[in-house]
Structure 1
Amino acid sequence: MCYSAITHPAFRSTVSTVHNAQDIEELIGEALIYQHMFEKRTSPWEMQTWDYEELQAFKLKLKRIDRLYYINHFDDQVSSRTFEILLRMTYKKEKVFVHLSAGCDFTGFDCQGGGEIYITRSANIFLKSIVEESHDPQLIYNSLVEDGYSVDEPTQFGGAPMLKFLTHQAVHDNRETLSYYSEVLPAILTDSVTDFIQVQETRYHHNE
C-alpha cells in the first residue's frame, strides 16, 4: 500500500498484534484508500455540530490515530473482503471516536464495494452505542478510563433488567408524552435519563 504510515507519538493499542500505524495499514490500508467512497455519519445529537459537506469530507488519517481499540480484516480468498476498525484520533484539535466498517467483493472497491465511517465526540456514546460484544467492550472501557473519561461500565445495562434500566426505558419509550421530565426530576436523574435516551437513539441510528 502507498499510504502514509506515520505513527502518532502517543499511539496506544489494545490489540496485542498491532503496534503502530504500519500494522494498521497492512490490515485495512485497502479500505483507507477508498474511504472517499464511504458514507460518513454521526449521532443524531451531534448532527447540528457538523456542516454536511465537512462531515462527508472527513478522512481517517493514520498519523492522527492515537488509540486503537479494535481492528479486523477478513478475506475469504474467493468472494469477499471485510474491514473494521474502532479508534480515537485527533480531528481539528479535538479527539473523536471513529468506527469504520467496509467490504468489497473479489473485484475490489472500484467494482463492488462500500462502507461507512461513523464519528462521535462522546466517549459514552462510543462505548454504549457503537461498541458491540464482539469488540470486547470491557477492554475498551478500561482504556477509556485510563485516559480519564467518565464512562459507565458496559455491563451496567447488559444483564438482567434493573429498576434503573426499566425506569429509563419507560421514559425513553414515552419520551414525547414525558418530554417535561427535565422540569420535574432532580438534575442528576435528568442527566442520567438524557444520557440513556441519547445512547439508545444513537444505537438505533448506528445500526440502521
Structure 2
Amino acid sequence: MDADAAVPASRPRDATRTRADLLRAARRRFTLMGYERTTMRAIAADAHVNVALINRYFGSKDGLFAAVLDESNSLFDGSDEDGRPVEESASEVFASMLAGLNERDWSEYGGEHPIMLMLRNAGPDPVAERLRREGLLTAVGRLSRALRADRSETSEGEADLSSELVLSLFIGVVILRHLLPDETLATANEHLLNEEMLRIVRSISRFDD
C-alpha cells in the first residue's frame, strides 16, 4: 500500500484515541523525515485514520507539528504529572539525562533520541522555533535550578553557563551517535559511558555527587 495513501478507520474511534494515534504517528514521521518531507496523508495512513481528522483535531499540519514539539518538550522539564516542577538534586538531573542517552529504543520517535526531533526540524517557522527554544531553555533551567539548590553560593549566571555547556555535551553525543551509529560512542558500554560523561560533567559544573 502507498505510504502516502490515507487509510480509513476500520472500527469506531473515540476522539482521545484518535488524537493520541495521530500524535504518535506524527512524532515518528517528523523525527525520522523532518517537517518538509512528512505529508499529512502519510501521518494519517500510519495512524489508520482519514486525513481530514488532522485538521479536525489540530487545525493543520503546522498545528500537529506544534503539538508534537510541545509534547516532546515535557521530556526535558522534570515536572510531575500535573506539570509542576519537581525539586531535584543535580545528581538526579544528570542521572535522568544519562538514562535518556542510554535508552536504545525510543520507539515512539522511530528509534531516534527526541533531541533529533528538534534538530531535524530546524527552520524559519516561528511556532516551531518558539517551541524548540522553550524545550532547550526548559532543560537548561531544570539543571540550573538543581545546581543552585545544591550550591547556594553559585550565581544564576554561573549555573546557567554550566547548564548550557552540559546540555551542549549531551546534544553533541546524540548527534555523533546518529552520524556514526556503528562507532565507539554509539556502541560504548553503558557503565563506561556514564562514568566518562559524569567525569566531564563534574569538570564543567564543578559538581561533586
TM-score (norm 1): 0.26
TM-score (norm 2): 0.26
- Structure having the higher helix fraction is 2
| RCO higher in structure (CA 8 A, sep ≥6) | 2
